[in-house]
Amino acid sequence: MGSFFSFKRHFMNKLTKIVATIGPSSEDPDMLKTLLLSGVDVVRFNLKHNEIPWHANLIDTVKKIAKEEELSIGTLIDLQGPEVRTRVFVNDGEIPLKIGDKVILSTEKEPKSQNTFTVTQPEVLGYLEKEQKVVVDDGRLHFIVETPGKNKVTLISLSDGVLKNRKTMNVPGALFPLQVLNEKDIEAIEMAASHHVDYIALSFVRTAEDILTLKKMMEEKGVDARVISKIETQSALDNIDEIVAASEGIMVARGDLGVEIPMEQVPFYQKEIIKKCLERGIPVITATQMLHSMIDRSYPTRAEVSDIANAAYDFTDAVMLSEETAAGKYPLEAVKTQAQTVAFSEKRVAITDTRSLYDYLIRGCEEMLCDSAYNMVLQLHYQDQPIGGFIVFTQTGRTARKLSRYRAKYPIYVFAPDKKVRDQLALNFGTYAFLQPKIFKENTSVRVPQMTDAIEFLRKRGLVESDKHYILLYGDSWMVAGGTSTIKIIPPQV
């Protein structure tokens, strides 16, 4: 079994979370364990690659390692959604291109002509128009439609490069009437139920209706997971408020977003989306190409490090690694780079009342208590009093999530009744959750010795220091959803 040393290695004094994508470079159990101990908080499984049993097996492996090391690790499956990807069946899945070359986009199931390919959603061909722009592989290749057609479209390449298999295809500004979920997505949702997945991300969300469609399918399949909406289209930006309201989290998927809209607009929308998520109290992930150069080399560019730091300064909940950890040569170095960068950057953000920056949505007593707890921390800080953080007892995780959005720069230690509540907090800024099922007993009053035992649990793991103030949030009774009713300051134990 793990020890508090395992947790301390994972914790690394950072509050911003790290999401890492698993693939050939990181699927070995020893590498997985090393990545988790180096600061990965949520493990992402990209359903666009590999078969469902491969993902299911690795989800079990992650949960096994987390249990052995006594870590709270979230699992996230990323559905394909209404996404379009290339399918190349010639030349080992590659078509070399020069500027001016013509290629054929066909509805054939497996085209064999040297300059012909198809896509995962061939029905889009009927919606392409003459002189429309088509972008492939996150903007690496650009085409223009020369001859449209329902079953065959002629494209002219505007780029030198290689058209590869299973790369994203975007048509900026177009809105295709595609189904929200494909067959593999539905199979993955069924797997999520049996393997207790914590988060489900949906690609190419267009409206809140897409999220409701996914949630309906999850309910039918008995899935208890939190939904992450990926923002990567103009339509999603147009409907961002309703999407945020319908979601339990947001991913700023900058790769496809930077293809769908002019690249210079992406940083602005990144900040706007993070702001909306903070005000609503849901986690937000900043994703795509954060350490792209580390796919092939062991050190980042200065611009990449600045990108990570700026995401931390924007108060993102999490930063994400995709190909860097899935297929890159240096997955561990990439994780360490992110962990070190966010840990350093967080400490350099001046403590200020974030309520002057964000219009937090406060709708009930629980949220008012979180606001009061945040105010207590600010007052202690203004008086130069030493602060260790928050300690929260929660039945559903809601109190910890609402407290997290204030970005108080102090850890939020959370005691949860079960693994599901614990691991579904893995994505929220500053939260570190633990199991204490023996104190969560239905219809029993909260007693001081129970909280004392929980604090001692933290002390033994080197997380609570006797010379600092801690702020407790708890309810009058255990096992009451939304029952947080009390705030208490624990002074230094000198």
Per residue in 323-341, pLDDT (tens digit) is: 999 999 999 999 999 999 9
pLDDT at 105 over 50: yes
pTM for the predicted model, two decimal places? 0.92
* Whole-number pLDDT of residue 114: 87
Residue 433 to residue 391: CA distance in whole angstroms:
10
Task: Indicate the pLDDT class of residue 29, thresholds 50, 70 and 90.
Answer: very high
Higher-pLDDT residue of 174, 210: 210
Q: What is the mean pLDDT of residues 152-165?
A: 96
Q: Which residue has the higher pLDDT, 389 or 11?
A: 389
Both structure tokens of 196: 């207790």
Residue 15: per-residue pLDDT: 96
Q: Residues 450-458: what's their mean pLDDT?
A: 82
d(CA 93, CA 217): 34
Q: What does the pLDDT average to over 336-358?
A: 93
Q: What is the pLDDT of residue 176?
A: 86
Query: What mean pLDDT comes out for the span 418-435?
Result: 95
Across 289-313, average pLDDT = 97
Which pLDDT band holds residue 452 (cuts at 50, 70, 90)?
Answer: confident
pLDDT of 440: 62
Q: Taking 80 as the threshold, does the pLDDT of residue 196 lie above it?
A: yes
Residue 2: both structure tokens together: 């793990």
Counting Cα atoms < 13 Å in the Cβ hemisphere of 182 gives 16
Dist. CA 393–CA 478, nearest whole Å: 9
Q: How many CB atoms lie within 10 A of CB 398?
A: 18
Give the pLDDT band (50/70/90) at residue 477: low
Confidence of residue 1 (pLDDT cuts 50, 70, 90): very low
The order of strands in the sheet holding 387-393 is 431-435, 412-416, 387-393, 469-475, 484-490
Give the range among 43-57, 203-217, 250-264, 432-446 with minimum mean pLDDT: 432-446
